[in-house]
Amino acid sequence: MHRFTLSQLSYFVAAGSFGSLSEAARHLNVSQPSISSAIGQIEHALGYSLFTRHNRFGVRLTAEGRQVFDQARHILALVDDIGAENAPSHSEPSGQVSVGCFDPLASLHLPGLLRSLQATFPKVNVRYEVLRQPALHEAVLSGDLNLVLTYDTGVWEDIPSTAIGRVSPFVIAPPTHPLAHRKAVSLADIVDEDYVLIDWPESKEYQLGLFSVTGRMPKVVAYAPSLEMLRGMVAHGFGISIAVTRPAADMSYDGHPIVCIPISDPIPSQRIVICHSEARYLTRASRLVMAHIIDHFRQAS
């Protein structure tokens, strides 16, 4: 029977998380030899290597090490959460919660949400990452993220999710465009117009899929690597586009106006979802953060 101390497991998990013995030591405020010793004792007990060493103190988890890492992280989360279920309702939650957010949603929602979480749960360290959907999907499957906030683009069927809001796609155009003063436009109205397409695989697929009702594809004249660049290119007359994320001001970053036009076709709205990892135990802090995010979006709708 293998026996490890919680300290050894926490040192190992820190090294795996940071990919560096020196960074793990700095984070835990212990010496780097203490980290090395803890990992060595676990490796000796198991009979195989958990890391490959590279650079000076850099480390990378082996295939076996990744399995032990996930198990150790789960054990530490369970230990941190002991008694939480029976804790007084007024007691403050503590610990760390990792939240991933899809890029367009992050710019619009994440700063205010982080401030609200900080005020509500001052002892909870919310670590966040802003990523594209494939990276978010991989991170939540592996357990690197506790929670993910994203649009439901069809890649989340294998992960538990909760719908927390809906948005409808709309056309964006410069004010000088012939369609800019219409109360609504159909996809057939815009399919032959110069079109700026967002250059993200999942978003491209979604936008191009909308045009299937016309039997044709839009006339793509330019690609934008970000939502901010897309809005700027539209504002400067490169073409029109479709978006689902609408910032508070209808203008580009450099102050040029944009017109937002509803789409008259019966297009299903896009769900905003919060997903959680099955590879990581959801601690009390994670569950409370998740509930707070759900409430935040539902109050805003």
Q: Tell me the Cα Rg of the chain.
A: 24
For residue 174, what pLDDT is reported? 97
State the chain's maximal CA–CA distance in angstroms: 75
Q: Do 183 and 260 belong together in one domain?
A: yes
**CATH number, domain containing residue 66:** 1.10.10.10
How far apart are the C-alpha atoms of 182 and 296, rounded to whole Å?
Answer: 33
CB 147 within 8 A of CB 97: yes
For residue 278, what pLDDT is reported? 72
Residue 292 tokens read as: 């707070």
Does residue 4 register a pLDDT over 90?
A: no
Residue 88 lies in a domain: no
How far apart are the C-alpha atoms of 131 and 137, rounded to whole Å?
Answer: 10
For residue 146, what pLDDT is reported? 87
- Burial readout 251-277 (b: 16 or more C-beta within 10 A, e: otherwise): ebeeeeebbebebebeeeebbbbbbbb
Q: Do 124 and 176 belong together in one domain?
A: no
Name the more confident of 208 and 71.
Answer: 208
Beta strands across the sheet bearing 170-173 = 241-243, 170-173, 259-262
Number of domains composing the chain: 3
Residue 87 lies in a domain: no
Mean pLDDT of 17-40: 86
Give helix then strand counts, H and E, for the chain: 10, 12
The residues that bridge with 263 in the sheet, in sequence order, are 185
Q: Do 145 and 291 belong together in one domain?
A: yes
Residue 208 lies in a domain: yes
Secondary structure of residue 131 in the 3-state scheme: strand
Does residue 91 register a pLDDT over 70?
A: no
**CATH number, domain containing residue 239:** 3.40.190.10
Q: Do 258 and 178 belong together in one domain?
A: yes
Q: Do 16 and 144 belong together in one domain?
A: no
CA of 8: how far to CAs of 28, 39, 82, 160, 274, in Å? Answer: 12, 7, 19, 32, 33
164-217 residue pLDDT tens = 999 999 999 999 999 999 999 999 999 999 999 999 888 888 899 999 989 999
How far apart are the C-alpha atoms of 138 and 6, rounded to whole Å?
Answer: 28
For residue 142, what pLDDT is reported? 77
The residues that bridge with 271 in the sheet, in sequence order, are 166
Mean pLDDT of 24-34: 86
Name the more confident of 196 and 32.
Answer: 196
For residue 241, what pLDDT is reported? 97
